[in-house]
Amino acid sequence: MKINENHLKKIINNKNIWFTNPEDVYYLTSFKSTNLSLFYINKNWYAITDDRYFKRAQEKLKKINVLNAITLPFKNILIPEILKSGKPLSVDDEFLSLKEFNYLKANYPLLKIKGESFNYMRMIKDDEEIALIKKACLITDQIYKGILQYIKAGRTEKDVKQKLLKLLIEYKDCESAFSPIIAAGKNSSNPHIEPTNYTIKKGDLVTIDFGVSYKGYKSDMTRTILIGKNVTKMQTKIFNLVNYGLNKAIEAIKPGIEIKKIDEIVRTIFKQEGYEKYFIHALGHGVGLNIHEAPTVSSNTNLTLKKGMIITIEPGIYLPNEFGVRIEQDILVTENGYEILNDSPIQLKI
């Protein structure tokens, strides 16, 4: 394994950088570890790890100086190099602990630390990444088929979650992208509730939100379905409204559009029907090595879509103590528009 030069070009720009986020390290090196930091200093690469990964890192990380954090005071080697360069050390301010920051400032007062986010480095996917996410979405669709055959009145939310995870382990190189959300009846009005022992009943709406991690790359899909055949007018109205907002948002996706405008499309639709206040989260997010990564699809994001981005669109309406509806699709931004990566049906009655 060596540094992925194509990925690297997105961020280096003559900097000294300390990568501590495991997903960033994997993105650049394809090396998986829970404790490996990557330094780029004066155009040289250093990897810092402990005894658990040291030998494997030496074998796998070619053209990188691998140092053992246990046996070697690596800061005495790297920090003088940083100071010599006259440039600050750029760090991901979401992943540098206060303890580490205070240590550096106390022991190396001349060291300049520049906090920044490296999220943007992974926003645009290359062909290999897109293929992996498409595979994750394909497996997600297959698992969803199995869930539709299993779910029925009398099962609990936890039963459905366990069945989903059981179906998942049948696939090679896969794991759950996050803890699945199974929310039935009134529980579906809570966007991110953990599955409970609630017994699903006929007439309940059930929100199923789950994803697959395939070789590290994630999918994220949500469907809301009816158990039984008797649906209320309100359930139908809210489902159709959410689905309409989803479709209108997706239709607007193309390179160059402001991300905040996509969020605005859905909120305007919901506002016209009097339900804007029941849409209580962002419209979506980027997906890749992390289940939630840049860009966030919200009114606060001052970015435009670019070819190669993969985002979720997941509008939802949550009526307190009644029910909620959320539908989520994974979308690839293409040269002239978009490609929907999920193929699972969007329908209230199953």
Residue 74 backbone class (left: φ over 0; alpha: ψ -120 to 50; beta: rest):
alpha
Which residues, including other chains, have CB under 8 Å from residue 220's CB and lie 6 or more apart?
177, 178, 209, 211, 287, 291, 312, 314, 328, 330
Distance, CA of 201 to CA of 197 (rounded, Å): 12
Q: Are 11 and 121 in contact (CB under 8 A)?
A: yes
Distance, CA of 20 to CA of 18 (rounded, Å): 6
CATH number of 127-340: 3.90.230.10
- Which residue from 173, 80, 134 is spatially nearest to 332, judged by alpha carbons? 134
Q: Are 127 and 101 in contact (CB under 8 A)?
A: no
| Model pTM above 0.85 | yes
**Per-residue model confidence as pLDDT tens digits over 122-176:** 999 999 999 999 999 999 999 999 999 999 999 999 999 999 999 999 999 999 9
| Window from 93-102, 201-210, 276-285, 302-311 with minimum mean pLDDT | 93-102
Q: Are 40 and 48 in contact (CB under 8 A)?
A: no
What is the residue extent of each domain of the chain? 5-121, 127-340
> At 8, is the pLDDT very low, low, confident or very high (cuts 50, 70, 90)?
low
| DSSP label at residue 61 | -
Distance, CA of 229 to CA of 267 (rounded, Å): 30
> At 117, is the pLDDT very low, low, confident or very high (cuts 50, 70, 90)?
confident
The HSE-up count of residue 63 (CA atoms within 13 Å, CB side) is 10
CATH class of the domain defined by 5-121: alpha beta
Q: Are 338 and 250 in contact (CB under 8 A)?
A: yes
- Which residue from 91, 85, 1, 108 is spatially nearest to 39, judged by alpha carbons? 91
Q: Where are the beta strands (DSSP E) in the chain?
A: 16-19, 36-41, 44-49, 65-68, 89-92, 113-116, 174-176, 181-184, 205-210, 212-214, 217-218, 221-226, 284-286, 293-297, 310-313, 316-319, 323-326, 329-333, 338-340
**Per-residue model confidence as pLDDT tens digits over 51-105:** 999 999 999 998 899 988 765 556 677 888 888 888 899 998 888 888 888 888 8
Q: What percent of the chain has pLDDT over 90?
A: 75
Query: How confident is the model at residue 10, as a pLDDT?
Result: 65
